[in-house]
Amino acid sequence: MSSSTPNPRRRRIAGERKTTPRPADETVDAATVEEGPPTPKPAAATPVSLAKRKDSADVERPPRTSRPAPPRLMVGVAAAALGLLLSALALALLVEGAGWGDWKRVQEHDQVTDAIRTAPGAAEQAAATILAYDYESLEADRDAAAALMTPEYREEYVETFDDLVLEAAQERKAQVEADVRASGVAAAGPDRVEVLLFVNQTTVSTANSGEPQSALNRVVLAMEKVDGAWRVDGITSY
């Protein structure tokens, strides 16, 4: 019996690929042969320590602290202080530019101008009341006139009226009307003005048999400002 030794070199059949022999000890995975070469796995990411990152953040960026909002009271006080400062600066500039004396003179001039404008009208109304009376209502007429006077002059007027007018007007049944024809300022200050008035007084009494008698009188009323209102502080007749 003859043994035949297989021929290591076999002729390839037409269409067969040429294969490279593998070593005998190498195991070939069937899945690998069918699916192709294995895909290399990505390298594992290097683990980063959270503690280390936290420490680094603490060093590079300090923790933020919230700033409390200023209270409204402090804001109001600051605004008021700023307003006072600006007012003081404005006043300082005014005083430095014009001078305190000049500013005071301008202010006093404005007050005198206002007194000249308003005092004569008050004097005319007061004269029409004070210089007129009726024997049938003497006390009421006296009190109405006294209400237009300063407290100091009121006492003097009431005393004079009671002594010189009250009894005589009742005896003669006198009735006096006063008509202010013109007025002018004789002297003026911020709180005191002397007003010259031309008053036409018409008197009816038993002394002239009931016939009206008229007389044009000149009267100066000293007007003084009391609590913002003009009051009579003196009467002088010519």
pLDDT digits (tens, 9 = 90+) for 39-85: 555 555 455 444 444 444 444 555 555 555 555 555 556 666 666 66
Assess contact for 112 and 97: CB atoms under 8 A: no
Assess contact for 121 and 129: CB atoms under 8 A: no
Question: Given this model, what pLDDT does residue 189 score?
Answer: 94
**How many whole angstroms separate alpha carbon 58 and alpha carbon 175?**
106
Per-residue pLDDT of the chain in tens (238 residues, 90 and over written 9)? 444 444 555 555 555 555 555 544 444 444 444 445 555 555 554 554 444 444 444 445 555 555 555 555 555 566 666 666 666 666 665 555 556 566 677 778 899 999 999 999 999 999 999 999 999 999 999 999 999 999 999 999 999 999 999 999 999 999 999 999 999 999 999 999 999 999 999 999 998 888 999 999 999 999 999 999 999 999 999 8
Sheet holding 175-188, edge to edge: 133-134, 175-188, 192-204, 213-226, 229-237
How much is the pTM?
0.57
Q: For every residue of the chain, which 3-state class applies, written as one string?
A: CCCCCCCCCCCCCCCCCCCCCCCCCCCCCHHHHHHCCCCCCCCCCCCCCHHHHHHHHHHHCCCCCCCCCCCHHHHHHHHHHHHHHHHHHHHHHHHHHHCHHHHHHHHHHHHHHHHHHHHHHHHHHHHHHHCCEEHHHHHHHHHHHHCCECHHHHHHHHHHHHHHHHHHHHHHCCEEEEEEEEEEEEEECCCEEEEEEEEEEEEECHHHCCCCEEEEEEEEEEEEEECCEEEEEEEEEC
Question: Given this model, what pLDDT does residue 105 score?
Answer: 75
Token pair of 154 as six digits: 């009121």
Question: Given this model, what pLDDT does residue 62 score?
Answer: 55
**How many whole angstroms separate alpha carbon 157 and alpha carbon 143?**
10
What the chain holds in terms of domains, given with CATH numbers, is 103-237 (3.10.450.230)
Token pair of 186 as six digits: 């004789």
Question: Given this model, what pLDDT does residue 52 score?
Answer: 47
